[in-house]
Chains A and B, each alone.
Chain A
Amino acid sequence: MIIKNISIGTVIDGKWLKHKYKLLELLGKGGIGRVYKAMNLENKGVYAVKITDDIQSITKESDVLKQFQSIESFPRFIEADDCIVDNNKYYYIVMEYIEGQNLNETLRDCGLSDKEILGIGLIIGRTLQILHKEGLVFGDLKLENLMLDKKNKILRIIDLGGVTPIGHCVNEFTQQYDRASWNAGIRKADQQYDLFSLNMLITNLLFKNIVPLKDYDIEKLLNKISEKEMPAKLKTVITCGFRQVILFDHYVYQLENIYNKYEYSAKLYSKTRLNTAINYLMVGSVLGFMALLAVYGEKISNF
């Protein structure tokens, strides 16, 4: 990906829809392109613009985003267009701008309780189930692709560039979450591919430093898991997740059981944590309601 002469202050002029966006701030860069915070010069609205010279990737991403607009955790899609900057052709999509931190930053700043981590895992798991039903795999799951939306108070999954049809080769991946890098399967898209990466995400969040990143040795990782102190059910689920001997749907079901029974760890418990947990787990659906029930149910039973 070669992007020349695009930077803060550049104004991109849409070829098809004729809207103008001024790039305000670089939000991120990845294999496919760059994401900028940008302002629409006509309505003065602030949006996120993902721009690239790779027409193939951005078109696929844009179509997936449009197809799954009913999933609240995905960004709202505004429009897709092309532009020319300094005689070079670029292609871009405009999405809602999400105010908040990605999970990496959240971990660094205030941390997450075990229950919040399981809740996040559950929300992602349910979202991935929807993708799987439509014959797609998320692919590139990682902390950087997850944000806590301050304004709407929900978890957001922000980068759909890795979404791949089941049966195809996974082209966008991050080593730590990619089972092929661990010699635990091939880099082909299937439900178990997502299972491995979701499991890795949850394990990494729950037990910092347990993941042996120097040599990507799956047996070493599994040994550390078996030695680590944790509820038996959780241990079984995590182990099955890495070995991919459990169906994705069943994994999510087990995760939910564990989540419902999980106590807050005493040292992490605090009022703000409780509020944060409730807020971030509200997805305006049965899941949110269940989360509330679990939280308040426990609080009441503590009296």
Chain B
Amino acid sequence: MKSIEIKQIIVVTDGKSNAGGSPITAAKEALRSNIIVNAIGILDHGENEEHFREINDIANAGGGNWEYTSVSNLGYSMMAVTQKTVNNTIHSIVGNQLKKIIRGGIEDISPDKRGKIIRYIDELGEYAMVRCCIVIDCSGSMMNKMSIAKQSILELMNSTKGRNGDWKVAVIGFPGESGMLTKVIHPFTDDIKAIKSRLFELKAGGTTPTAAAIIHAIHLLECEDEVEIQEVIANTEPLIKKHMV
């Protein structure tokens, strides 16, 4: 089974960025490096549309999905958004290859005939190699939401245990300590216990330098490449063969 590599950043925040540059520009930067940026906005009470315009913009610039969620639903949102990204990424890779064979996308195959391709996409998703960097807001306003946010990250890791593919999660907090804009809570790992102990120490306080956090995540994701040798899908044998359609 061919293994597709998917790199994604999930920005989890409860408000607008207020320090360190434009997160939208940072998200565009990520997409240029083949990294998808998703964004989750945590709703509390009394937030308005403006507050979360930025979430939409970050996700749109980063080619990813966005969601607003209540604190209690954060775990589910994180899982949903990561899964969607895996699906969407595979869909676009497969879609591009399909265009060469049938001059159309999956929707151009009739509903009763698309099952085969859809099941194949499912398999690809199941065996995908995913590097997911969670970028979590630790500014002052997150104080009451920190414990649920930590729990949600663990939930996400718990979910990935059931997968066949190689999933690793890293966590970056923003702002960092002693005047640093960001802090690596834990580099890429699939060890839920290791992340749990580091998450324990996470505290809230300070400004919201979202852009810096996204840039840091990009570096972390790109470093992963040096450790493992990746096949670039575009240069190898196509995933879709004519007989599948």
Contact = CB atoms under 8 A, between A and B. Distances in A.
19 contacts: A55-B107, A56-B87, A56-B122, A59-B114, A60-B119, A60-B122, A62-B111, A62-B115, A80-B112, A82-B111, A91-B107, A165-B122, A167-B164, A169-B162, A169-B163, A170-B162, A186-B158, A187-B161, A189-B162
Interface in B120-142: 121-122, 126
A184 to B, nearest CB: 12
A55 B126 contact: no
Nearest to B106: A55
B80 interface: yes
| Size band of the interface chain B makes with A | 20 to 34
Interface string A59-98: 1101100000000000000001110000001010000000
B91 interface: yes
A294 B87 CA distance: 49
A303 interface: no
- DSSP class of B's interface residues: helix, strand, loop or mixed? helix
Contacts of B162: 169-170, 180, 186-189
A168 B79 CA distance: 15
Interface in B98-114: 106-107, 110-112, 114
Contact of A59 (B83, B115, B159): B115
Contacts of A82: 107, 111
A59 B164 contact: no
- Max chain B Cβ within 10 angstroms of own Cβ: one of A55, A80, A165: A55
A250 to B, nearest CB: 24
B126 A169 contact: yes
A264 to B, nearest CB: 40
B121 A56 contact: yes
- Max chain A Cβ within 10 angstroms of own Cβ: one of B110, B111, B159: B111
